[in-house]
Amino acid sequence: MPLIGALPQQLSSASPITSAPLVLFVYLVLILMLIAAMASVLLRNTLWAIGSFALSMALLALLYLTIAPLLLFAVQLVVYTTVSGGLLLGLLRLTSGLERPPISPFAHRWIVGGAVTAALGALLVLIAAATSWPMASTIQKGVLAVPYSFTRTLIDSYVVGLATLAVLIASAALGSALLLLAPALHSPRGGGERTGRR
Amino acid sequence: MTAGLNLMLVASAVLFAVGAFAVVARRSAIGMLMGTQFMFAAGALAFVAFARFGRGGAPVDAGPAIAFFVAITAAAELAIGSAMTVVLYRASRAFFLDSDGG
């Protein structure tokens, strides 16, 4: 009986991506992702910072589309981009509220920037829909190199990990709920709600 | 021009540095939470890159599997961190984590 993690599987290949359009796509996604990440750290307005954070995570998911199984792309998109962005926005709503940014989003330069971004995004979606690129390219050229089901591997080889993950998520949910339900403590710095324990 | 392991590792290192900078330099709890997420994502990217472009010896699905676990763990960490931030905000009406921030 094979040990966990010692099941016969396809070994990784060392060949880099050489298809020119795909290489350009990877470079573009990486550069945009790093710019968005830096913007989310440097922006003073929390709402814009969360937006940049979600954008950088969505771009990372797009990168996973070219070098990782589809399930990881989906998890990255759902967990990091949607859940993380939603959690942070919910956190903002629960606390200080969604305040208006100091620079109005309807200022002229933001409208122009938004229009250009929307146009480029629409173009990318149009190309992807019309040509199935980059998925078709990666599969045709063997770049994806994952011929069997990633989900099956997870279920077969990482049962203990999945069970641990379930316990971890349940613990996090329970801990978050208990933290949020607990009465507010008195702050030595002043402020805060005074309805809780002293 | 190719895109291989070196490119991915450089990107991973930069992303990790951005996250570490956010954790160290930002006083806001939300900024620090985002920084930890970037650090998690950088580690996951390195695992995926090694699995995809590494020189054999590891199953091709090992890296993505680790990245999968990292993503879910990061989400759980974010949930706990968000709850802690809400509690902090209730107590001090601020997101600042340093002693003189509030």
- What are the backbone angles phi and psi of residue A143, rounded to the nearest 5°? -70, -35
DSSP tag of B102: -
d(C-alpha B54, C-alpha A79), whole Å: 26
Contact B84, A179 (CB under 8 A): yes
Residue A62: CB partners within 8 Å, gap ≥ 6? A29, A73
Tokens coding A184: 């507010």
Residue B24 with chain A: CB contacts under 8 Å: none
Chain A: residue whose CA lies nearest to B55:
A14
> Do B69 and A10 make contact, defined as CB atoms within 8 angstroms?
no
- How is chain B split among helix, strand and coil, in percent rounded to 5? 75, 5, 20
d(C-alpha B10, C-alpha B21), whole Å: 16
Contact B46, A6 (CB under 8 A): no
From first to last of its 198 residues, what are the pLDDT tens digits of chain A?
A: 444 444 445 555 567 888 888 889 999 999 999 999 999 999 888 888 888 998 998 899 889 888 887 778 877 877 777 777 777 777 777 776 655 555 555 556 666 666 666 666 666 665 655 555 555 555 545 444 444 577 777 777 888 888 888 888 888 888 777 777 766 555 555 444 444 443
pLDDT attached to residue B27: 81
Q: Does domain B5-92 have CATH number 1.10.287.3510?
A: yes
Q: What is the pTM of this model?
A: 0.72
Gap from B27 CA to chain A (nearest CA, Å): 11
Architecture in CATH of A20-147? Up-down Bundle (1.20)
Residue length, chain A? 198
Which pLDDT tens digit goes with each residue over B23-59? Answer: 998 888 888 889 999 999 999 999 999 888 877 666 7
Burial of A21 (0-12, 13-18, 19+ CB in 10 A): exposed
Residue A18 with chain B: CB contacts under 8 Å: 2
This complex has an ipTM of 0.89
CB contacts < 8 A (A, B): 230
Closest CA to B8 of B34, B47, B40, B38: B47
